[in-house]
Structure 1
Amino acid sequence: MPRFELVTLDSQEWAKALAAFPDRIVFQTPAWLAFLAESQGGTPVLAALRDGNDTLGYFAGCVVKKFGLKILGSPLRGWSTPYMGFNLLPTVPRRLAVEALSEFAFKTLGCIYLEVTDAHLKLEDLTGLGFSHEMHGTMEVDLTQSEDVLLSRMTKSCRWTIRKGEKNGVVLEEASDAGFADDYAAQLKDVFAKQGLMPHYGAERVRALIKHLHPTGMLLLVRARDAEGHCIATGIYPAFGRVAYYIGGASWRQYQKLYPNELVHWYGLRYWKQRGMEVFNMVGTMDFKRKFGGEETTAPMIYKSKYRILTQLRSAAMPVGRAVLRSAYRLKNIGKRRETDSAE
């Protein structure tokens, strides 16, 4: 029976080991693990899946503490990290890795809960192993197609807004400065405000992402400006191996009439296509992401607790968390109105 063994590899050693696996993605790289360590205050974990003297693959994740209890995420929700999971030799079934994971998480690491999203997992890999799951969908664009074909597969309105953005004088630039984090965070706050919500992270996380990822060449940051030079939209696109991802985009509502968002996204698609990426993962299925002509795919987010009650509490916590965010936003606005009234 294969088992996971905790391994200690420095950044260069892990990068070399990772390069041998066709299923490698940016969220498993040394740079991304360093980003998670800083932004989540956790401890990166690497484990080798071994069967006797043979190494069948690896697992990458991060252990964090909540109320003094250890939790293993690969990833956890809210990390700005849609996938992690396993790197396995092509002949190794993923079920073997899932089967070995519980003992590693609960006994070797001493965690009470684990959560994994691996883009290559299938439901049949989980049968009878005691994991709960939620299916997560996304849209994937085939970047091996020509730009003309990519455009033809978009909706008519998407092509129109790209052309309209160009005609409106929207100028795009590749960013690398720390100021990008402030631009993006401010615009993201405006996006969430439209829905009566508040974002769960701010500029500090984006600064950490830029710090660890941008020097590696695995991160594209796009900034859109209007004719007067105002930053009106931003986009964040990491990539590695064969897949690029859209993990964040925002814009000021007052400038959306200039149609910067689709133009920013089209730039990101072409940028990574030109650099050899084969797939562009939209990380979600909302209407904006559907209009770019991708194919919908799904993967299970799996989770398991050492104690059953924790799984039940987790399921109940999600709607509560959303309600708390909405309440916080409303209370903040009430406070601002009271300050304004007092000033008057």
Structure 2
Amino acid sequence: MHHDTGRIHELDAVRGFALCGILVVNIWQLTDMAEVRAPGEMVPLRHLLSVLFEGRFFPIFSFLFGLSFALFLNRAAQRTDRPRLILIRRLVALGVLGLVHHQFQPGEALLPYALVGLVILLPATSLPRLAILVAGLAATIGVALTLGGGLALVPGLFLLGLAADRYGLADTLDERTWQLTAVFALALPAAVLTAMWEYRTPYLDLLVSTAPPIAGLLGALTYLTGLLLILRTETGAVLSEVLEPMGRMALTNYISATALILLAEPHLHLSGSDKYGILLCLAAAIITIQAITSWAWLKLFYYGPLEWLWRCITWWELVPARRTPEPVRYR
């Protein structure tokens, strides 16, 4: 039995990429770093990083969750008569893990993901695909224009991920280079203009401004389509070798990053400081550790440690994890 069937390697690489971007924001949130230097004046490097990272990678991660949820449901339906029951168990397990993770990182994503998955995504799977797409677009754009960004965007992005599966986007990704190019060409200038709008919005107005969520979503779309285009080049093939294992172990890497940040904080004293240069060094160190560990781990095992545990609970059986060496064939 080949365990990697059904995996879409480009999406694993994108998930790994999104994880790297989320990490930067998670470090300053978790260590509670200083945002302002003087009243109303942001720390310059934080200001720049906010516009490059904040709200840009979380939407990609959320969209991919909705998409992989749909792909998993399709595979579960081939294996069992009760695929929804399997998915409920999968989401409950994720919620429990999120609840534990929340004790160490308040504001983490797994618990909200599990709840939105149960309350919105699972019921939506029985809707026609056009209804899913319209609801996803309405929720995402509506929230960005009214409530702002962050976790409030999750329901809409989940629905868009589900719609992407229903319209066969994942299966036909290889054939969509010109469409990706067109979306990227439109998204890039829009992302740059809205990022400048966000950058120029006074600090005290940012909380009520629609600039951050709109710029964030356009930035996410630009990063997503841009990376998918890069992955089709020779340079992209090398990049994929690094990002893909990280994306396949996204759950393990997301949670272990929290542990690594908390272990590093007493030595780096980031809390309350404006040492964003050190933050970038820490992010680079964690990404390097996770990239090497993920690559090495997946040479020996089919799944990351938490992915394996999650899979066992989902299917309520002990799933084989260790890769068997290929038999040597003598001529």
Calculate the TM-score normalised by the size of structure 1: 0.23
Write 1 or 2 for the structure with the bigger share of helix: 2
Larger relative contact order, structure 1 or 2 (CA cutoff 8 Å, min sep 6): 2
Higher-Rg structure is 1
Calculate the TM-score normalised by the size of structure 2: 0.23
